[in-house]
Amino acid sequence: MNRVKFPNRSHFQTDLNAQVDLYFENTQLPKTGTWKMFFKTGVILCALVAFYIGLVFYANSYWAVALCGLGIAFAICLMGFNIMHDGAHGAYAQNPKLNWLMGFTLDLMGGSNYLWRQKHNFLHHTYTNIDQYDRDLQSSGLLCLSPDQEWRPFHRYQHLYALPLYGLHTIFWLLYRDFVAFFAGKVGPIKLRKPKWSETILFFSGKTVAYTYTFMIPAFFHPIWKIALGFVLIHMILGITLSVIFQLAHTTEGPTFPQPNVQTGHMKNAWAIHQVETTANFANNNKLAAWCFGGLNFQIEHHLFPHICHIHYPALSKIVRQLCEKNGITYHAYPTVRAAIKAHFKFLYKMAHTPGTTKEQPVEKKVLQG
């Protein structure tokens, strides 16, 4: 694979960085989290622990089991969207050790911070929507998520089977995918940095802790079949929620899928412009959505400033929008979560029946702004 090269920094990025720096200078706010972030963390962690204790030790009726199971699934989502995500990007706090600790919550949930930092922080955030390089577009060939991917006949039904497939995402991640990537030392064709001995210990320690509270502790109180059923149902909810929210940012009708020059590896647009045009926001006026999704509904701002805590994105979005309009850059934004979900499934349908329509431009030329 050729090395992808972006043009030198654009005037857009220079002006944007200057205005964002001025915003923080005027407000005297830190670029990382404030007391609001720490309060949110406490609420989410307390909710997760309470629902887990309720499910394992106290739930005696189907209604109680269902309530606690849903609570666990959504609390894990909130922890991933807010705490882990900001921590892994170094945006949670000014203290690097605290950022590392918050990022490590991914390991405690059964994932791997070591793999996440390379696959997500580097590959996805650098090469957004560039097929083969952005590993978030890869689905083992089960979905066609880019006009540059190989189309297969069964993809014509992907808008129908995508949702249950998303439901298997975290199960596959927890039990299989991380181990394959770790031992192979690569994701797809891209080699990973060799793990330090400490990262190896943490990788297996995290998996052990996750398997202990998921399977071993409940086994003292419940039959195996109930544990297995609960595991599958919780992870189906978890997988669908996580997958859909992450997909709304890049695989909808607005974002583009540019590819590097085959001979030189050069991209047409500078990195900052590339990030804006390959990304979409949604529900930017919905404060509840912003609180729950950890700023993932401000995905454009997140891709431009991944090291800034998500609590600042609503304010920064106004700056980004104005500069995009000034420079003639399309700012994709859906007014509601529902509109974004609809756009994602319309994208899946169009990729299923007319692959290649979004390669040079969005599926619909209409500018989507909320």
Nearest CA among 348, 305, 370 for reference residue 162: 348
Tens place of pLDDT per residue across the chain (370 aa): 678 899 888 899 999 999 999 999 999 999 999 899 999 999 999 999 999 999 999 988 888 999 999 999 999 999 999 999 999 999 999 999 999 999 999 999 999 999 999 999 889 999 999 988 898 888 788 999 998 888 888 999 999 999 999 999 999 888 899 999 999 988 877 888 999 999 999 999 999 999 999 999 999 999 999 999 999 999 999 999 999 999 999 999 889 999 998 888 899 999 999 999 999 999 999 999 999 999 999 999 999 999 999 999 999 999 999 999 999 999 999 999 999 999 999 999 998 876 555 444 443 333 333 3
In contact, 332 and 255? CB cutoff 8 Å: yes
Nearest CA among 41, 55, 51, 137 for reference residue 87: 41
Give me the number of domains the chain comprises: 1
User: What does DSSP assign to residue 282?
Assistant: E
DSSP 150-175: PP-GGGGGHHHHHHHHHHTHHHHIII
CA distance 277 to 307: 20
Residue 1's pLDDT is what?
A: 65
Per the structure, the complete domain to which residue 230 belongs is given by 1-370
3-state DSSP helix/strand/coil percent for the chain, to nearest 5?
65, 5, 35
Residue 62's pLDDT is what?
A: 86
Structure tokens at 350: 């169009």
Which phi and psi angles does 144 have, rounded to 5°? -100, 105
Burial label for 1, CB within 10 Å (0-12, 13-18, 19+), is exposed
Residue 160's pLDDT is what?
A: 93
In contact, 236 and 174? CB cutoff 8 Å: no
Distance from CA of residue 298 to its chain's centroid? 12
